[in-house]
Amino acid sequence: MTGGVVGAATDKVPVTVLTGFLGSGKTTLLNRILTEQHGRRIAVIENEFGEIGIDDALVIDAEEEVFEMNNGCICCTVRGDLIRILGTLMRRKDRFDHILIETTGLADPAPVAQTFFMDDEIGSQLRLDGIITLVDAAHLIQHLDDERPEGVENEAVEQIAFADRIVLNKTDLVDADQLAEVRRRIGEINRLADVHEAVQAAVDLDAVLDVGGFDLTRALDLDPAFMTDTEHQHDLTVTSVGIELPGELVIEQLNDWLGELLAEKGVDIFRSKGILAVRGMPERYVFQGVHMLFDGTQGEPWGTAERVSRAVFIGRDLDRAELEAGLRGCLAVPVPAA
């Protein structure tokens, strides 16, 4: 199953999702974006009533319309209110060249992201550029360690896990050791996201608005060290697992393994990204997913480069050994684990 396309066609309007815990500085960043002379025409959708007065801002109801779509082979959650307001925006898309969606501090980023995969009209006219998470350097650890009742998610953890880019704000309120610890904690959860430090949310807007986090051609700008990092993080619920595997994979086995993995563990796999070397395919196979929704395409030819598959999973209760064994089991010529 594949959902709607989150492609990178240049004629599609890019959409940035801005998330972050209450007090992290989203409003400050929004005000900067809306008042600075940056040459972009940005439509803002925000759902925190009364916080900022922006004449052109579009406000979606604070009461989120979240819909489960369980349809046999497809299972995801979309936001009806977002589909409606994006539909309205698309009728006047000559008036802007970027859309920014600001979510409340408690919103789960998944339904926002999945909405772009699921509705064909949105997918044909808009492209999700990236999820930006603002965090408060002085309070992040407290939020991450906030114990929740059984079955209740920690939104701060999820917002970091989903992020393509993280703005580590209010760094002036912590010393160097505290900052290093905050960075370490972020890295434990999400090793894929770039982290940009800021004071007063003063971050280069190019670093926020043109991320390419859902651009399949840029899907795997990975830190090479991460791919070979075998450090285990036994105590964490939400982690990143990177796998690097030389050799060629068999597409039928990949389909079976990935299909089974996403069907069984899709709820716990927040983001997945990778470049795979598939037997009989001269090009790289580039993929990424949000929970069970998965999208892939053929990328650049391998040419004379060594055929090495690289995949990253970010999610809850991930079993590194199981994931690696699963991908290894798809190799055309099985190679025993080192």
Query: Which 3-state string (H, E, C) describes 97-152?
Result: CEEEEECCCCCCHHHHHHHHHHCHHHHHHEEEEEEEEEEECCCHHHHHCCCCCCCC
Task: Give least dist CB 285 to another protein, A.
Answer: 7
Are 173 and 138 within 8 A, CB to CB?
Answer: yes
Residue 228 touching another protein (CB under 8 A) = no
Residue 83 touching another protein (CB under 8 A) = yes
Candidate segments 29-37, 62-70, 162-170, 210-218, binder of another protein by CB under 8 A: 62-70
Residue 255 touching another protein (CB under 8 A) = yes
Cβ proximity to another protein: between 118 and 318 the closer is 118
Q: Which residue among 80, 212, 247, 329 contacts another protein (CB under 8 A)?
A: 80
Site string for another protein, 150-179 (x = CB under 8 A): ------------------------------
Task: Give least dist CB 332 to another protein, A.
Answer: 15
C-alpha to C-alpha distance for 97 and 108, rounded to whole angstroms: 26
Q: Which residue among 23, 212, 247, 296 contacts another protein (CB under 8 A)?
A: 296
Residue 119 touching another protein (CB under 8 A) = yes
Structure tokens at 272: 């997945």
**Those residues with Cβ within 8 angstroms of residue 336's Cβ, 6 or more apart along the chain or in another chain:** none
Candidate segments 92-100, 164-172, 219-227, 248-256, binder of another protein by CB under 8 A: 248-256
Q: Which residue among 20, 213, 242, 289 contacts another protein (CB under 8 A)?
A: 289
C-alpha to C-alpha distance for 213 and 192, rounded to whole angstroms: 10
Structure tokens at 190: 């999400």
Are 53 and 40 within 8 A, CB to CB?
Answer: no
Hey, is 308 helix, strand or coil?
Answer: strand
C-alpha to C-alpha distance for 271 and 263, rounded to whole angstroms: 14
Residue 104 touching another protein (CB under 8 A) = no
Task: Give least dist CB 305 to another protein, A.
Answer: 21
Residue 4 touching another protein (CB under 8 A) = yes
Task: Give least dist CB 37 to another protein, A.
Answer: 35
What does the chain come to in residues?
Answer: 338
Strand order in the sheet with 126-136: 58-59, 42-46, 98-102, 13-20, 126-136, 165-169, 194-197
Positions touching another protein (CB under 8 A) are 1-5, 61, 63, 65, 67-74, 78, 80, 83-84, 87, 118-121, 123-124, 251, 254-255, 258-259, 262-263, 285, 287, 289, 292, 294-296
